[in-house]
Structure 1
Amino acid sequence: MTQELSVARPFGELITAMVSPFTADGALDLDGVQRLATHLVDEQGNDALVINGTAGESPTTTDAEKEALVRAVVEAVGDRAKVLAGVGTNDTRHTIELALGAEKAGAHGLLVVTPYYNKPPQAGLLRHFTAVAEATGLPILLYDIPHRSGVPIETETLVRLAAHPRIVGVKDAKGDLTATSWVLARSDLAYYSGDDATTLPALSVGAVGIVGTSTHFTGPQTKQMIQAYARGDVAGALALHRRLMPLFTGVFRTQGTILVKAGLALRGLPAGPVRSPLVDATADQVAQLRADAAACGLEFPA
């Protein structure tokens, strides 16, 4: 007999960091944004979407475009899914400005990445995240990704941040399950795997779900894996984990947005080109993506 785990899931179980569809000339495609958001919620089973994350090419979108993206997605799916706005920058003042803009646009929560490149000390991270949390009324998911930002959010810092009522969870891409375990043992933060392939291992130490990239295509199956583990069907969850590994890892053979947009285009869904300095997928990369999908039992039309 199994018993389903009882844990807080402030943004559900399955979250996709959505790409931002562009027109052929590189402009923002707001109609495509709404159609893709609808597909991800209604067909892929997402409980929430992250808009303006790295997958959404946030380094190349303007502040006005970021606000327009949030408004468009809230209008399309905000009645049946949470919309989280990525607002993190390496400037606290700018991050707060983006947070206020996202709140005004109707976002249900914020994703705030560790300030990147300037490598602040832990005292600076504590001040930065607290300032953002104090500036709005929205719940915050911290994004811990030291291989991009250059600085981890250390365990003691995370435990201290967990005391703030609006800091409710972590998108965990640190790749350190020991550190994750210590934070979960000492706080009530909701942890979401920020690395598709480590979702099942993260669930084993107390995570509640995923903020994914391959979940543009694997949403229903990934959700089944999460729910199987939660009800005690570890063997079933492991079988799904193994089945999905080719896409969990394959979309990162190059920068994830590039291959997600290529796969969406194959399926006739809104995507468009990537913005420089990214480059669109090559024919060989698209062929490999098809092979990875087929290995998972999924197909991309020729």
Structure 2
Amino acid sequence: MKTAPGRTADRHPFGRALCAMITPFTEAGALDLDGARRLAARLVDEGCDGLVLNGTTGESPTTTDREKAALIRAVREAVGDRAALVAGVGTAATRHTVELALAAEQAGADAVLVATPYYSRPPQDAVEAHFRTVADASGLPLMLYDVPARTGTRIEPDTLLRLAGHPGIVALKDCSNDFLTAQKLLSRTDLALYAGCDEHNLALYALGAAGYISTVANLAPAPLRAVLDAFDAGESARAARLQQRATELIESTMASGLPGTVTVKALLGALGLPAGPVRAPLLPAAPARTEELLAAYERLTAPAASAVR
């Protein structure tokens, strides 16, 4: 059984720069474990402290429970102890979520990421009970995932404040777009808060967040990591310029009308990196969109961009 990271002693229980990793598939649509190993190793080599597996970006709604466990084991083999592995286990059913959390623990994950149950739109007392049940059932620390745009139900601020008192609930991935609640949590709790929207990476980090969980990091892990490094070095103006520099790729990837999984896989494929197709009901990006993504990527990663002062 793994020990939960210290909540007050460690502001960054799973590192600072985490990537919400895609799940590579073969051209036939099968799980590509070799590709996952290669992609995970690249992400860690280029600055990721942690990897979130089987999340939304990892196409968790269309992968099987067996595939989820196999992915965790393969990535652990590839990165060893060089990165924290956070396993997405959120489902619409509490029992199934518990089963996935226990399977993730056995497969070698360091923590679990649990989204609010979707579709049934449970009231807040049921939301709270769901998270407490999962946290009590697993030996892994739990990261809450507040993403109401996808689940249809947010974790209300008062619910978050109560859940922060549970010893097994140590972090929050915040996709609520609610900066006031983020500040309340940072000031009133020991929760490690991770930005879940790339455009918020620096803003929340400057307020005291632990770091980010980034979809765009699949594409440009080093430029995003550089933002946090600059801020930690006391170079806040340079950090702002680096964050601004990444805006075009962030927008192209996350705000172009396509899911981030689709845009990331399109660009990774264009770069010759492990990705493969998306699974239905998602459809691949059009060639013209892939060209736009590639152009934005090349502008961000050009030598002149990396030399921003």
Q: Would you say 1:223 and 2:225 are equivalent positions?
A: yes
Query: Post-superposition shift, 1:204?
Result: 2.7
Partner residue of 2:162? 160
Distance 1:178 1:80 in 2: 34
Partner residue of 2:3? none
Q: Would you say 1:199 and 2:201 are equivalent positions?
A: yes
Partner residue of 2:41? 38
Partner residue of 2:294? 290
Kept after mapping to 2: 8 A contact 1:177/1:205: no
Distance 2:220 2:68 in 1: 26
Partner residue of 1:187? 189
CA offset digits 1:7-26 (Å, max 9, x no partner): 61001011001111111110
Kept after mapping to 2: 8 A contact 1:264/1:270: yes
Q: Would you say 1:128 and 2:134 are equivalent positions?
A: no
Distance 1:69 1:36 in 2: 12
Kept after mapping to 1: 8 A contact 2:263/2:285: yes
The correspondence for 1:20, drawn from 20, 23, 31, is 23
Query: Post-superposition shift, 1:183?
Result: 1.4
Partner residue of 2:281? 277
Query: Post-superposition shift, 1:116?
Result: 1.1
Kept after mapping to 1: 8 A contact 2:270/2:290: no
Q: Would you say 1:211 and 2:213 are equivalent positions?
A: yes
CA offset digits 1:191-241 (Å, max 9, x no partner): 110000111111232212110011112211211211222333210110001
The correspondence for 2:103, drawn from 92, 101, 106, is 101
Aligned pair in 2 of structure 1 residues 298, 261: CA closer, same or farther (>3 Å)? farther
CA RMSD of aligned residues (A): 1.4
Percent of aligned pairs with the same amino acid: 49
Kept after mapping to 2: 8 A contact 1:7/1:208: no
Partner residue of 2:259? 255
SS of residue in 1 equivalent to 2:100: helix
Runs of 4 or more consecutive aligned structure 1 residues displaced over 4 Å after TM superposition? none
SS of residue in 2 equivalent to 1:251: helix
The correspondence for 2:238, drawn from 232, 236, 239, is 236
Alignment: residue pair count: 293
Which stretches in structure 2 are left out of the alignment for 5+ residues?
Answer: 1-8, 304-309
Q: Which amino acid aligns with 1:284?
A: A
Q: Which moved more, 1:251-260 or 1:228-237?
A: 228-237
Aligned pair in 2 of structure 1 residues 241, 22: CA closer, same or farther (>3 Å)? same
Which stretches in structure 1 are left out of the alignment for 5+ residues?
Answer: 1-5
SS of residue in 2 equivalent to 1:83: strand
SS of residue in 2 equivalent to 1:296: helix
Distance 2:196 2:88 in 1: 14
Distance 1:215 1:242 in 2: 15
Query: Post-superposition shift, 1:298?
Result: 4.3
TM-score, scaled relative to structure 2: 0.92
